[in-house]
Structure formats: structure tokens, C-alpha cells
Amino acid sequence: MSTFSKEAGAALIEHALSLDCIHCGLCLHTCPTYQLTGNESASPRGRIHLMRAEAEGRIEPDHGFEEAMDSCLLCLRCESVCPAGVSFESMMEDCRDGLDSVRPKGWLVRVVRRIGFGHILPSRRGIRLALGALKLAQVLGLTRVASTLLGARGRALGSLPPVPPRAERQPLNLAAPTPGSESSQAWLMEGCVMPELFGRVNRASATVLAAAGVHCRTHAEHTCCGALHAHNGDLTGARELARSTIIAFESSARIPVVINSAGCGSHMKEYPRLFSDDPEWLERARAFSSRVVDFTEFLAAPERLNPLKSRLGPSQSGTLAFDDPCHLCHGQGVRSAPRTLLASIPGAEVVELEDPEACCGSAGIHSMLRPEDSSALLAEKLEDLERSGAQTLVTANPGCHMQWAGGLTQANSPKQVQHIAEVLAQALKPNAS
Ligand code: SF4
Ligand code: SF4
């Protein structure tokens, strides 16, 4: 018997969207969860079939249904190959949000989500306190103990990257640039965990943008775009954070918003979807989303690439391989820009992975919720990297960065992972920054 309390007649998704699927099956063999399990219900086609059956009232969302939806990585590879243009991300986010309101959640999940999503991610102070506590746990060896005692989930905790010293965990605080042409200005969005865990990437991004002739400014208070909320069944929280993000960057309406986190950029480009029933916010969301641009696509435009090229010296990172973050290639359709940037470094040796668009298993918090699946996907990526002969794995997303770094550390590999901004910043000639 179902333990769910869904209101009779209420569908989790918009039925019409599920009708776009023509059941061709082209998505099956590119779907990582189908590859892992061989189960139709763990494939895009199977998941859409289940959602449609639920929307038509033919099935109830029981635990099998919930498992089929929760196991999806939202990597969006199915959208890249689908000939029918199925809006899989939209359906899955709606479905998880609907499930979230009808399924009984354990107290631990409720507490973690209320604190993590409701209080930590939306607040710089909250993030700073949480990362400070994690730092203390790492110094005291508690994360190592957890990784031993708690099995697979503990291993995910133990594989989190070391929290940098406090001196490195500082926001950029770039004041408004001196008045000048708006075409040479940009907002650099710092993100929520980026200033704490990857402050060096934000600094490298600002340095490289400056070398390309861009005057960056940052927002003193803004933190989270809401991507994790949307992907994990909290569309109400995602809308709140989308509104605060739009407001934060609304004052200078023609200046692009550059983001060096592919997952956040992909989500912010889709803000209008969150407000389809709210004409006022839909208009504001459209205006904001049209200004969002990934760091790599912004820099690869000729008017910035040409000045940047004149500042680049030899690569400091050995042989490079770019691994496409899912939300850059599948989510935003950005594929050539990072390769153009790497190829512009004099003498850089760049090799291709055999399957650079396969998911590394990070997928937001998926690596913590489903560590076995995540590890299996990462193992294949590590083998691909090994075969490529690259010394540096290059990424453009913090979740992938942590996933790769954890995998390379566990494998005692001499290879390193760097954000593309770090690779470019290290290649700048000394007088360039
Ligand atoms: S988003 Fe990724 S994991 Fe989910 S169904 Fe599509 S391909 Fe499979
Ligand atoms: S590729 Fe698209 S249309 Fe074909 S089965 Fe998959 S989701 Fe449906």
C-alpha cells in the first residue's frame, strides 16, 4: 500500500510535456543511470513513461516511482540527444518538487534541508560558519573518522576537499569600476560556496578577465542562485533565491553577468521557467537571464579573446584535457569556447578524453546522496583520463572540480584538476595581471 498522501487528481508534472517523448530510445545508451543498471525505469524514456502514467492517473507515485526519479543525475545528456526536444529538466524538477510535497521525509533529511537550503546557502555568514565548522572537523580528523564509520556516505564526506585557510576564504569585493564603456564591464558572480572553497578560482577569473580588458565588479551580499534547490525538489526556495538574484543584479541592466560555475549558469539561464505563472517576474527573469553568460563563452568572443591572447605565455599545466561539465555542454550548449581558450595558450598540448560529455557523478549533491553510483561513474572517468595521457584535468564547474579532486586523491594520482580560469591565469605573462 502506498504511504504517499497525494491529493486526488493532482498531477506531479504538466501532462502535455510528457507527450513530447516519441519513445524512440535514442537516449537510453547515453543515460548514465541506464548504463549502470540496465533498467528501463532508470532511463529517460522510462522515467517519462512513469511521469506520464502518474499524470494520467494510471499509477500512484509509490516508492518505485520515487526511486526512479531520485536516481536521476539531472545531467541532461538525454536532452542533448533527444530528437523530439523533450524538456526533461523541467519535468524532473516539477516532479521532484511535487513529490517533495507528498512524500513523508525523515526528520534527518528535513533538518539537513531546512538548515542547509534555508539558512546556510542563502547567507554569506551561514556559509562561512558551516565551512569553518567543516574546516575544524577536517583539522581534528573527524571527517576521516566519519568516512571510516559511516561507510559509503561517510566516504563522500571524507572526500570533500580541504577547506582552505581563512585568509584564502575571502570574497573579491571588487567595487564598481571607473565609469567607462559598458561594453568593457561585467559582473563576476562569486557564488555561494565558491568564495569559501574556490576563492582562488574567483581570483583567477577576475585576473583573466582584467587581462582581456574587462572591468569586473562583484556583489557584496549575493550568494546562492538556487540551482541546488530546484534540482532537489524545492522550487519554492529556488524562486525566492531567483528573485533575490535578479534584484541584486538588476540595477545595471545592460552589463553581462559572468559566472564561472556551469551548474549555476545553466540554472540562471532558465530562470524564466520558474515564473511561467507570474507575468511580472517572468519579464524580469527574461531580462536577467539574457545577460547571464558562462566565463568561457564570454572570454572566447573575439573582442576579449584577442587582447587575452596577446597576454598569454606558455602553459604551466602540462598536457591538458577538458572535461565538459554536463551543465555547460548539455545545459548551455557551450562546447567549443573552453577548447578555443585552451588552444590559445602558446604551446599548450591539449588532448581529448574519449567521452568528455559523460557525467563524472558529481551532479550537485548526488555524490553524497548516492555515493556508490557516483563512484562507479567517476571510476570510468578516471580511466578515461589515464588513457588520455593528460597531466591536468580542466573543468569549469566547482562540483566536478571537487569530484575529480576527490577521485584523484583517493587514487594517489599525480595528476591535478584545475578550473580553466586557473589554467589561463597561470599562463599569463608576468606583467599581465
Ligand atoms: S538527466 Fe541524465 S541521468 Fe537523468 S534521465 Fe537524463 S541522461 Fe539519465
Ligand atoms: S530520445 Fe527523447 S523522444 Fe526518444 S525516447 Fe528519449 S526522451 Fe523520448
What fold is seen in the domain 168-297? Answer: Rossmann fold (3.40.50)
- Nearest protein Cα to ligand 2, atom 2: 82
Task: State which ligand 1 atom lies nearest to the alpha carbon of 34.
Answer: 8
pLDDT (tens digit, 9 = 90+) per residue, 224-278? 999 999 988 889 999 999 999 999 999 887 899 999 999 999 999 999 999 999 9
The span from the CA of 338 to the CA of 394, in Å, is 9
Of residues 284, 398, 262, the one with CA closest to residue 330: 262
Q: What percent of the chain has pLDDT over 90?
A: 64
Task: State which ligand 1 atom lies nearest to the alpha carbon of 79.
Answer: 6
The secondary structure of residue 277, as a DSSP letter, is T
Q: Note the pLDDT of residue 170.
A: 81
**Ligand 1 mean position, distance from CA 51 (Å):** 14
Q: Note the pLDDT of residue 130.
A: 87
The two domains 168-297 and 307-432 share their CATH topology (first three levels equal): yes
In terms of phi and psi (left: phi > 0; alpha: psi -120 to 50; beta: otherwise), the region of 272 is: alpha
Q: Note the pLDDT of residue 150.
A: 66
The span from the CA of 372 to the CA of 393, in Å, is 22
The span from the CA of 227 to the CA of 268, in Å, is 8
Q: Note the pLDDT of residue 151.
A: 65
Q: Is the pLDDT of residue 304 over 60?
A: yes
AA identity, residue 353: L
Mean pLDDT, the chain, integer: 89
pLDDT (tens digit, 9 = 90+) per residue, 381-402? 999 999 999 999 999 999 999 9
Q: Note the pLDDT of residue 140.
A: 84
**At 72, is the secondary structure helix, strand, or coil?**
coil
Exposure on the CB side of residue 83, measured as CA atoms within 13 A: 6
Among 3.55.50, 3.40.50, 2.60.40, 3.20.20, name the CATH number for the domain at 307-432: 3.40.50
Residues 6+ apart with CB under 8 A from 419: 198, 201, 204, 205, 260, 394, 395, 396, 398, 401
Q: Note the pLDDT of residue 199.
A: 92
- Nearest protein Cα to ligand 1, atom 2: 75
Q: Is 72 in the pocket of ligand 1 (CB under 6 A)?
A: yes
pLDDT (tens digit, 9 = 90+) per residue, 54-81? 999 999 898 899 999 999 999 999 999 9
pLDDT confidence band for 139 (50 / 70 / 90): confident
Specify which residues 189 forms β-bridges with.
259
Domain ranges of the chain: 15-102, 112-165, 168-297, 307-432
Q: Which CATH architecture has domain 15-102?
A: Orthogonal Bundle (1.10)
Higher-confidence residue of 317 and 32: namely 32
Q: Is 331 in the pocket of ligand 1 (CB under 6 A)?
A: no
